[in-house]
Amino acid sequence: MESPGSVPARPLSYEGVWRFTAPALDVSVPQARHAVRDLIHRQAVPVHDDVLQGLLLIVSELVTNAVRHAALLSPQVAVEVAVGPEWIRVAVEDNHPYRPKALETDSANTGGRGLLLVKEITREAGGECDVEHTASGGKIVWAALPLVPLSGAAPV
């Protein structure tokens, strides 16, 4: 018998890593969100609906940031989805070296808070997020969320 939180002896049917690229264009934002949603449904990932909605918003924010701020140096963005037995991670990679920082709330400015939103969604779900540099000089912005939110509600 496995202890809670241990890694199963063999991967569950929904576990894996998937990666796709998209042009750094506005149209790629909804396409990436829909591709991630469809992948999660196709793989029958047992993710709670609240977590899924937060994850899809994170995908939209991260791809939007890459399109708006990195397209000049990165005509393509890569989206990676990794699913483990108890978590799901999304990452967006571009070739721009700038490491973004989450802005603080400013009621006078309606933009520039995407990463703050990503951090808040991730924190509320009990997950983690970060920005890492790539060997090629670009960056990967990622967020990992538990399949079941902190409240302990059952997955759908």
**Could you tell me the end-to-end alpha-carbon distance of the chain, in angstroms, rounded to an integer?**
25
SS3 33: helix
Q: Is residue 23 in a domain? A: no
- The pTM is what? 0.84
Determine contact, residues 146/51, Cβ cutoff 8 Å. Answer: yes
Number of CB atoms found within 10 A of residue 12's CB: 15
Q: CA nearest 66: which of 25, 104, 33?
A: 25
Taking only the tens place, the pLDDT of each residue in 70-105 is: 988 899 999 999 999 999 999 999 999 887 776 455
SS3 51: helix
Residues of the chain with pLDDT under 50: 1-2, 103, 106, 153-156
Q: Is residue 110 in a domain? A: yes
What residues contact residue 84 under an 8 Å CB cut-off, 6+ apart? 15
Q: Is residue 16 in a domain? A: no
Number of domains comprising the chain: 1
Domain around 69: 28-146
CATH of the domain at 135: 3.30.565.10
Taking only the tens place, the pLDDT of each residue in 61-70 is: 999 999 999 9
